[in-house]
Chain A
């Protein structure tokens, strides 16, 4: 099947098998390897990307289902050299160790901040509760999201 998927603002047209998973489309077809794969059962969330702004597990979406839609991956977070606040937050607060879960965590948390600019600890934990990190024990991920929220608030104050 031929599909056209817009990924990080660029439209990609490809001939794909109907069974191809979005995660493999991104990784193998487009060579955007920042989105990872980690389980067979939609439990781990290292594959999370945004589909039309909503976080989804790209191992549980067929590439053909993304036809005509917008996908945002970790590679689409930074604007040139400028990091997205969520990336800055993870770096400042040691929100990652091996980094394997990190892109998925950041995509989910980016979407969280978009709808809730000042989430509580619990709201952050609930947002990432469908994802697993084996390294950080989550504490510093929570701190990272708070830090990102703070960066965004500070930036807004400057704007106003």
Chain B
């Protein structure tokens, strides 16, 4: 019997004992911090992002966009552009209408113009598409297209969208006489009203979670290539969800799905921006069909900021009720949701406000209710994401601001108020007033840990001393409960596609393995993390496991990476598929060792006979035997592989306690984040180094949204944040050195107890920063972003509306 050492490497270190960023000297046989396998390419400049791909004979597309937010198209003259010597095709809405492609379905029961035919409905909307020999010529030709517009009044202020006489944006829809999209409610309205009627204390607040844009460093793009002989369409595209895209292309263009291959190459950040299908992608497909050559389209940054998915834009009126000694009783909210010109939000289809109704947060509340109204405005469609876990970021912001408003009104300490009301560990699994079943958590311990790291009492003393001296310092706390890993397919689907994920694992005869995933990394490190899951289950080194993702011809079906769902869903699929392989390996090992499978015991990487550790078979030997002439029991197929489709029984519920310390310059209103403490509980950590990195990125996001990222519109609908000179993203100067901590409460229903972490910090950090700034300046509420100008105004009692240009 071979004694291959594959199976006797050090067992995986329990995740809680690995100090974050302490990269293991050797590759861990399972969980633990290890260097990322994907980095070898990236640090050498050998990533392969969309724009790095050049196909033979490839042409370049460019989109002509509307300068108006709302205007009738009177005429389009493309003749001069067509006469450009390097132009191969000019496509307009009319061309597309002839193909039945002028409109496409959105992810939210609506349609969206691919290229405008009748009128334009937001600034930056797609009007024409030029295909030329090179990218400069394509751009040159855009300037040669003459469009005659007749400007119309625009609906810019969402709060006026439903006014009598407001211009009707969607007159393309039969019988439309207003800008109303939907009304939706959750919770028990009567019970909630009852709680409020009998409460000692009620605090209410109007707040806006403003429109923001995920702005990954790589913009969106696509290369479409139709093989005229085989009829096969290959689409290289920046997508977080390759399989969903393939199905949608089949549905939109009427192409047979087996003749479509969607390839997602390396993605330079997604954060939700790369979930949807954009008009440019469809134009590239039409471009290749029309020209017979591959067509590349890559948007520039202003196109990215103006036209591809924004996030948030929730106008909320929230109320919170409590007893006079600070026991929270209930929360209710009315939301006006600005969905832009087309309803294109990517929420689970049955949930028009996504998972917003987790807004009772981390507290034991008797009742809660929300009413959400969606409206059209003359702004870009979207509402898809920005690491929000399907609108949980709005929900967490709402409740965490309300708790602070209540504390402010009553003179209570915000830490004490939270500690008093957090769910207790013994209450889990806990069903909220809105029907969510939180799986696990130890909230008080998590908060206490953050308070300890921060030195909360000392910070308050410092703040008091500074106030004496006239200096402004603020401490902001947020506690969040995330709900990720969508989802049970019964309740959660996108366009009718249930949110379950496939995984396939094959162990080759020599004991090396290939894992095929449906989800798609945009920097999260799937190639490493998922190899570690298999390593933990099978005792094969992560270095010996190839992880394949992002190619629909090479991977099983699944809904993709967003909503922090990769580890909760595809990670679970990976663990289960590895366990299936282990079960097969057990039968093979039993045949090898001539014992009954029941007599075998598993130690990582090998089976041995119970009571006789020397009689054993390592996984590599089992793999070879599984492919050999070894006689296997009847019904056992041989080889060593398995497939799995994982349909999560419930969401997973990560949580965290965040504390932000800011200093505000009294003279300029400039808020600087001095410290940020983040204690996250995302269940079991597979690669703590990667988890920590995910948290860092999300915290920077929170600082950006809370303080800098301004996406306002003037009354004509001009987008005032359409470049990085105007839409400010945090740099290294605005970010402090993050201070992290962790607690670990495994998810009881997840095969490896992991909960997902991709969006936790983006969800949890904005209210912590806002609470800190408002604490510093002693103001009850002002909306994000708290730019110096806005803080300065807020200090003078004149906070502004950040969705509109300052008048």
Contacts and interface: CB of A to CB of B under 8 A. Distances in A.
Interface stretch (A60-68, A111-119, A126-134): A126-134
A50 to B, nearest CB: 13
B731 A131 contact: yes
Contacts of A149: none
Contact of B522 (A27, A98, A101): A98
B301 interface: yes
Interface string B281-297: 00000000000000000
A128 B738 CA distance: 17
Contacts of A132: 217, 724, 729, 731
B45 A74 contact: yes
Nearest to B48: A33
A24 to B, nearest CB: 8
A126 B23 CA distance: 27
Interface in A61-114: 73-75, 77-78, 83, 87, 90-94, 96-103, 106
B697 A142 contact: no
B217 A101 contact: yes
B750 interface: no
Nearest to A143: B21
A77 B45 CA distance: 9
A97 B724 contact: no
B696 A137 contact: yes
A74 B30 CA distance: 32
Contacts of B696: 136-140
A136 B693 contact: yes
A40 B301 contact: yes
B133 to A, nearest CB: 12
Interface residues of B, number: 62
A140 B21 contact: yes
Given A19-B136, A44-B724, A136-B697, A90 B735 contact: no
Contact of B723 (A40, A106, A126): A40
B54 interface: yes
Interface string B261-294: 0000011110100000000000000000000000
A3 B40 CA distance: 33
A98 B732 contact: no
Nearest to B23: A92
Contact of A99 (B42, B271, B732): B42
A19 B139 CA distance: 13
Contact of B266 (A99, A125, A140): A99
A42 B694 CA distance: 27
A151 to B, nearest CB: 14
A100 B44 contact: no
B43 A90 contact: yes
B35 interface: yes
B546 interface: no
A97 B523 CA distance: 4
A38 B298 CA distance: 11
A56 interface: no
Contacts of A39: 301, 723-724
B36 interface: yes
Contacts of B218: 36, 38, 98, 100
B1 interface: no
A43 B725 contact: yes
B779 to A, nearest CB: 27
Contacts of B38: 99
A98 B737 contact: no
B84 to A, nearest CB: 15
Nearest to B733: A129
Given A40-B300, A94-B690, A137-B699, A102 B735 contact: no
Contacts of B48: 33
B204 interface: no
B45 A135 contact: no
A103 B49 contact: no
A73 to B, nearest CB: 7
Given A98-B522, A134-B729, A41 B267 contact: no
Contacts of A73: 45
Interface string A20-61: 100010011001111111111101101000000000000000
B219 interface: yes
Contact of A96 (B23, B42, B134, B725): B42
B735 A137 contact: yes
Contact of B45 (A17, A35, A40): A35
Interface string B231-271: 00000000000000000000000000000000000111101
Name the residue among A36, A106, A129 with the largest chain B CB count within 10 angstroms.
A36
Given A36-B49, A44-B724, A138 B700 contact: yes
B524 interface: yes
A34 B45 contact: yes
Contacts of B325: none
A99 B424 CA distance: 41
A137 to B, nearest CB: 3
Contacts of B737: 121, 139, 142
B217 A134 contact: yes
Given A93-B21, A96-B39, A100-B268, A125 B697 contact: no
A38 B697 contact: no
A90 B266 CA distance: 18
B408 to A, nearest CB: 29
Interface string B128-148: 000000111000000000000
Contact of B732 (A75, A128, A134): A128
A37 B36 contact: no
Nearest to A78: B44
A34 B268 CA distance: 12
Contacts of A130: 731
B136 A106 contact: no
A38 to B, nearest CB: 5
A61 to B, nearest CB: 16
B217 A36 contact: yes
B525 interface: yes
B641 to A, nearest CB: 31
Contacts of B731: 128-132, 138
B551 to A, nearest CB: 18
Nearest to A19: B136
B51 A37 contact: yes
A141 interface: yes
A96 to B, nearest CB: 6
B269 A135 contact: yes
Contacts of A131: 731
Contacts of A75: 44-45
Name the residue among B48, B694, B697 with the largest chain A CB count within 10 angstroms.
B697
Contact of B39 (A36, A99, A125): A99
Contacts of A40: 300-302, 723-724
A106 to B, nearest CB: 7
Interface of A: 17, 19-20, 24, 27-28, 31-41, 43-44, 46, 73-75, 77-78, 83, 87, 90-94, 96-103, 106, 121, 124-126, 128-143
| Closest 5 pairs (CB-CB, A-B) | A34-B45, A98-B523, A100-B268, A99-B42, A137-B696
18 contacts: A19-B136, A28-B134, A36-B49, A36-B268, A40-B301, A40-B302, A73-B45, A83-B43, A87-B44, A94-B35, A100-B217, A100-B269, A125-B732, A130-B731, A134-B697, A134-B700, A140-B693, A142-B737
Given A78-B44, A98-B269, A132-B731, 7 more contacts: A33-B45, A43-B724, A92-B23, A92-B35, A94-B21, A128-B732, A134-B729
Interface of B: 21, 23, 35-36, 38-49, 51-52, 54, 134-136, 214-219, 266-269, 271, 300-302, 522-525, 689-690, 692-701, 723-725, 729, 731-733, 735, 737-738
